[in-house]
Each structure stands twice: as structure tokens, then as C-alpha cells.
Structure 1
Amino acid sequence: MSGIYIHIPFCKQACHYCDFHFSTSLKKKEEMVLALAKEIQMRKNEPGNEKVETIYFGGGTPSILSVTEIQFLIDTVYENFEVVENPEITLEANPDDLSFQSDEGNVSSAKHPIKDLKEIGINRLSIGIQSFFEEDLKLMNRAHNAEEAKKCLETATQYFDNITIDLIYGIPGMTNERWLENIETALSFGIPHISSYALTVEPKTALDSFIKKGTIQAPKDEVANEHFHLLVNRLQEAGFIHYELSNFGKPNYFSKNNSAYWLGKKYIGIGPSAHSYDGRNRSWNLANNTLYIKFIQENKRPSEAETLSTIDRYNEYIMTGLRTIWGVSLERVEREFGTKFSEYLNRQSQKFIEQGYLEIVIPGEAGKILKTTPKGKFLTDGIASDLFLLNLE
């Protein structure tokens, strides 16, 4: 088994671009923590004899919980599951939640939440920086400011070796120079992992509304494309490996949690809106905090499930495989899905190979691997959708 994902559905305020499930009301926080612990207990038999390798606190904003509440949930996992000796335990956090100022205005390491998190077993921090520029943070309605972002990293790097930060590119008004300065600022802290995403406009978000009203300019694909290639080139120069479309890590610092998703390993999702996967079936909890708590209190799991068809599993493998450095194994497609799938993939991929967006490589004993080229990386999701199979007729 890969791991356990725990969804913390609370945030201080709503970012303008976000469409994840969360609430800005903390009235039910204590009830939610107890419900999360109870769901962990209810699902203790799901992995069978398999051990938990990763524990991931996502959200929402997990750092909105107290250190005591986070420790309680970690302890509950250990009490109900067999966990490997050195699991990767990640906490997503916002800079403002990791900041502590003493009366003198100096960081107090004795009381600092970052130190406390380290002491309870968190060994990987995922910090939502997004940008080091004030105007970008205000546009996105982030809860922290640029100074907090830098101070947070100054302290975090004293206690944590394994840190990843999020950066967003393609923001309206962001020049290439400002984007490169963002990257250089991140590199100056010695961060070993960076996740970076283009600003996207999701339906029914505040950003979507502002763009429709003309208050904010819509992001431009050509700008995002330029920023993406600047990012790839600079991070590769700095020794990062571009191991997934949006993820860059120094050797030995790839996210074990996320890599497991992309490689099709099993995982259990705890909390409202969290998804689970057992290799054949996918399930998801309802995205409603009040109903989630009610169901769990009644010893019921508030979820829906589906059994993935062969076509579903093939399409997922194409999507996740092309996004990673591991690519799509043509031998695996033939072995797991059959000749019709293999022949279809060969036909559909040919035009992208001719256009220089895809290539077939033979990395040793792994056999032939279909991968995106540097030219095709930014177009990965669109290419993958063209390789999807809709039916076998």
C-alpha cells in the first residue's frame, strides 16, 4: 500500500482561484478532527497486510490545526495501521500559520510551530508560497504576505531538510523577469523540491467572476507556456529533475506520496471530498462537512464508489504516465490491457511523434517507453486526451 491522505477542509480565507472543498468557518473544527480519527479507525482493515508508507495532510489548509490535533491524527494512524519504519509524513502549510513573532519581534525557535511540527513526526513540509511578490498574493487573495513567505522559509530550513514549495505562474501582469525572480528567490533558500502550476480559471470561483466582470485580465496560455519553459530550464540548471509535469525535485527528494499516485499504487483518503483507490475501485467521500461528520458519528462512511473498467484504467495510465519521467510502457499496455489497446496507442501516438511532441525511448531493460519531448511537455494533458480510448468498437 502507498499511503493515507487526510483532508483538512478549513481555510482562513478563500483564495480567488481555488475550487477545492473547504470552509472558512472553524465552528466544526473539533468535531471534524474527531470524525477524521473515527474514519481512520473505521477503515483500519482496508489495506489487508500492506503497510502504510506515507501520511499526507492536505486541504484546505492543514496547518490551521493545532500541533496537538495533528499529533492526535498521526497517533490514530499508528494505532490502527501498520506503518513502515520511516514513513514520509507531509503537512501542507501556509506561511502565516508557520510564523511566530515574540514580543521583541524576533523569531522564537523555542516556541516556533515549525519546531513543534518537527518534534511530533512531520518530516516533510509543503508550503504554499505561490509568489514572493505582494501584488500577486493580493490578486490571488492569499492569507500571507511576501515578507511572511520569506521569514517562514528562513525558519523552516533550520528544522526541515525535506521542504517543497508551491509557485504559480501565468498570473496576469507577471513578466518573465518577475517570474524568474520568483524562481531565484526560491532557489536562494536551498529548497530541494518545487511544485509549480499555471494559474487556471475554474468555474464558479472568485477569479472566474472577476474575469467575466473585466476586473482582472484573463491568464494567457502563451504567457504560461513561456513561464513554464523558463522554469524547466532554470531548475534543470540548478540540479532539479523534472520528474512530473508540475513537480521538480533534487535527487532523493521526489514526493513519495504523489509519486505513488502517478504510479498507480493504492491509497486511502480520509475526510470530506477525499478519494481512495485500491487498484481496481475508486471511491470518494461527500464534500459536505456537516453531513460528513453526521455520517461518521453514525458509524457510516459517507462515500460513493465506482469500479474502473479496463478502458478507465488504460486512460488513467496514459494520463499519469505521460506526465512523469517514467512515461508509458508499451509492453505494460500490451500485457495489462491487450493488443487492441496497444495497437490503438501506436496509431494515435504516431502523429505526435512525427510532430516532435512524443518520442519512444528504450531505457535499458524496461522496454520501449512512450514519453513527451521537451517540446511536448507543456501540452501533455492535451496530448494524453487524444490518446484516450472511448470504446473498443
Structure 2
Amino acid sequence: MSGIYIHIPFCKQACHYCDFHFSTNHRTIQPMIDALIAEIEFRKESLQGDPIIKTIYFGGGTPSLLDALSIERILNAIYKHYSVALEECTLEANPDDIAVEKLRQLKHLNFDRLSIGIQSFNDQVLKFYNRAHSAQESMLAVKKSQDAGFEKLSIDLMYGFPHADHSIWKKDLETALTINPAHISSYCLTVEPKTALGKWTQTGKFEEADENFIHEQMKHLMLETSRAGYEQYEISNFAIPGKEAIHNSNYWKGTPYLGIGPSAHSFDGKSRWSTIANNNSYIRSAQAGLFPKQEEQLEPIDILNEYILTSLRTSWGTDTQKIKREYGVDLFEEKKNMLNQLSNEGMIIIKGPSLLLSQKGKFIADSIASALFIDYL
């Protein structure tokens, strides 16, 4: 099975930490919708090895800015040009865009999952991040969504905001667990060079929290979500059992997916490509019937090591039998000494043919994965 990701490159305003591709100029929304529909048709042969679409994901940017008719046009194009057996349909939304009528329309269009970008329930932090909503709007948005029947409701939270103590983060998490979403995606505040935070960091206006501070907040996150009945099925993602994100899980399993829109990435199992990250250029290309892409042909060793990197972050872990079957590599033999060391240090758990990160190991997941990378095939 495959998934389709639709990138909606518009936002109301620029969050100070965000380096995703977007524009705050909304004058080209309708030409962009036309271009997205044109690319959907243009790419219809791209997933021939795995042609059944099981998940659709509207990301961004801020997809909730779109009206229902525009969203419906995009969905109709997908159904027209692809074989669809839908298991999950997700839309990312900001709290200030969520109204009862909008939720009714999304339900009518068969969306069963919302991902609400809350980030914090502290108004001062939201103002610092330059978010367009308030904490009260977040609470109302969650309640409206739950009342509308969105059982697979996810919220985004961000930890690592520098402060004298952990009180802001503890209150944020306490509030989140009180409203009982089915899913929580939680990420550390990261300073990217081309953002406002990046510029402030360079000029000394902003200083990131240190590693110990972040470590303590992540530890608190893992402890409290577990107590509340959530499973950490991926390092940054926590779900009530049965409410995991199917679309995102398939990324981590190495399933092919098609990305539509400016800056969107695609993967067909052998190569990866991305479209131009410029709205006007993307629209002009679409109007000319052209969709240039930057393509990277992946060697088998690249795909294998990427599988180790992503699967190790999950609750199902790295399947060494899959690696042996598909690549002829016995990871237990190739990385015997390293696996013994990591196991003795309590960083990994060896469970039959699977390698799982321990709670301790989750704090240095990328380093552990790198130590298990294969050097040659």
C-alpha cells in the first residue's frame, strides 16, 4: 500500500521556529489548488510498484486555511486518478481555523483524523513563537473536534522552551492529558538557521535550553504519557492503543509514498525526489504542464541504513529477519560486538529477531542507529 501527502504551502503568519516551506501571501491559493490537481494527475504512474492508496495526508503550511470546496477538489482528483482503499485521511489544522461548520464539512469529506498544532497552552510562549491562536482557542478547538466525532484526534506539543524551571512544560503536559486526545506528537524546540529563532540565536537575543534541561523534559513526557495510558510507538509520538497514525507509521516502515505540492518529497522504494520549493515557480511549471523534480537514486545500502534509522525509533523496532531476507545481511553477526555492548549498557533490548530501544536508549536514538549502520553490501 502507499500514501499520498498533499503540501499546502500557506500560513497566516510565520512561526519563529518553523523552516518548512510556506507563504503568508494568500493571493495564489486558487492557482495553487489548480497546480496541485494538475500534479496529482501528472504523477499518477509514479507508484506503479505499490499502486493502492491507503492513506491521504494534508500537511503544510496550514491546510485548515483552505475552504471545503478546495479540499474536495483535491480529494476528487486523487480518487479520479488513483486506486484508493482509504484507511486514514488526515488534515493538519490550527486551533483558530476550527469551527463547527468546518468540522462538519471535513467529516462529510471522509476525514477521520485531525492533527491540531497547539505547541503550548501558555499564552506568553505562544506569543513568543508567533502563533496565531491563544490557549483558550486551543481548548475550544479540541472540544469541538471531539464533539464532532474525531476519535483520532492528535495534538502537537513542543518542549524545550528555555525557562528557569520545568513549570511551563509540566503545566502544558498536564493540560494536554486532561483534555484526553487520542494522540500526542511532541517535539523539542529546535533552532533552524533560516528562522527568526536562528537569527536571534546568532545575535545573542535567544539562547537554547541546554541538553540536561531538554533531557529532563523528555523524561517527564515519557513518564506522564505512560501513566496516562499512552504508548510511545515512535520516539516523538504517543497514542492510545489503536489510535496510532497509519500514514506516519508507514513512513517509518519504509512504505512508498507520493508527495504533491511545492517542496513535497516522494519515495517509491528505490529513489527519492522533491519538487521545487517556490510557490510561483511551481504554479508556472504546472501551467506549462511541467513538474521538474530533484531526484536521488538510492543505493540498497542507503535504503537499508535508513530502515535501521527509522525502525529503531519505533515500538516494533528493527526486524533483523527482514534485513537478512532483503539484503542478505546478518545484523547479529555483522554488528555482534556493538550489539553486545549496547545491550550490556542497557541501551537496546534484543527481543527475538527484533532490536528495540530501551527507555535509556531513546535519548540517543540517532547515535545508536549510526553505530549499527552497515558499511558495505
Q: TM over 0.5: same fold? A: yes
Partner of 2:16: 16
> Which residue identity is paired with 2:42?
M
Query: Residue 257 of structure 2: which of 238, 261, 267 is its match?
Result: 267
- Write the distance in 1 (CA, Å) between the matches of 2:335 and 2:300: 14
1:123-176 per-residue CA deviation (whole Å, 9 max, x = no partner) reads 110000000001111121111111111111121110111100000001111733
1:23-68 per-residue CA deviation (whole Å, 9 max, x = no partner) reads 1111211111100011111122333373110110011111111111
- Write the distance in 1 (CA, Å) between the matches of 2:303 and 2:47: 20
The answer as to 2:127 corresponding to 1:126 is: no
1:8·1:60 contact (CA, 8 Å) conserved in 2?
yes
SS at match of 2:208: coil
- Write the distance in 2 (CA, Å) between the matches of 1:342 and 1:23: 48
CA displacement at 1:211 relative to structure 2: 1.9
- Write the distance in 1 (CA, Å) between the matches of 2:171 and 2:330: 49
> Which residue identity is paired with 1:5?
Y
Structure 1: gaps of 5 or more residues: 100-108, 363-367
339-348 vs 11-20, greater mean Cα deviation: 339-348
CA displacement at 1:342 relative to structure 2: 5.5
TM-score relative to the length of structure 2: 0.95
CA displacement at 1:361 relative to structure 2: 1.1
CA displacement at 1:205 relative to structure 2: 1.3
Query: Residue 159 of structure 2: which of 156, 164, 169 is its match?
Result: 169
1:274·1:285 contact (CA, 8 Å) conserved in 2?
yes
The answer as to 2:129 corresponding to 1:140 is: yes
TM-score relative to the length of structure 1: 0.91
Q: How does 1:273-288 map to 2 (within 5 A)?
A: 273-288=263-278
- Write the distance in 2 (CA, Å) between the matches of 1:340 and 1:374: 25
The alignment-based identity, stated in percent, is 44
- Write the distance in 2 (CA, Å) between the matches of 1:16 and 1:152: 22
2:51·2:82 contact (CA, 8 Å) conserved in 1?
no
Q: How does 1:232-251 map to 2 (within 5 A)?
A: 232-251=222-241
2:158·2:186 contact (CA, 8 Å) conserved in 1?
yes
The total of aligned residue pairs comes to: 375
Query: Residue 102 of structure 2: which of 82, 89, 113 is its match?
Result: 113
CA displacement at 1:230 relative to structure 2: 0.8
Partner of 1:69: 70
CA displacement at 1:340 relative to structure 2: 7.1
1:157·1:189 contact (CA, 8 Å) conserved in 2?
no
1:7·1:270 contact (CA, 8 Å) conserved in 2?
yes
1:307-362 per-residue CA deviation (whole Å, 9 max, x = no partner) reads 21122011101111110011112222222223476643334333322221112112
Structure 2: gaps of 5 or more residues: none
> Which residue identity is paired with 2:173?
I
SS at match of 2:4: strand
1:198-239 per-residue CA deviation (whole Å, 9 max, x = no partner) reads 111112211111122222221222111111111111111111
138-147 vs 46-55, greater mean Cα deviation: 46-55
1:73-93 per-residue CA deviation (whole Å, 9 max, x = no partner) reads 111111111111x43110001
CA displacement at 1:259 relative to structure 2: 0.5
Cα gap change, 1:340 to 1:234, in 2 (>3 Å) = closer
SS at match of 2:316: coil
CA displacement at 1:270 relative to structure 2: 0.3
> Which residue identity is paired with 1:300?
L
Cα gap change, 1:93 to 1:330, in 2 (>3 Å) = same
Partner of 1:45: 45
- Write the distance in 1 (CA, Å) between the matches of 2:164 and 2:327: 44
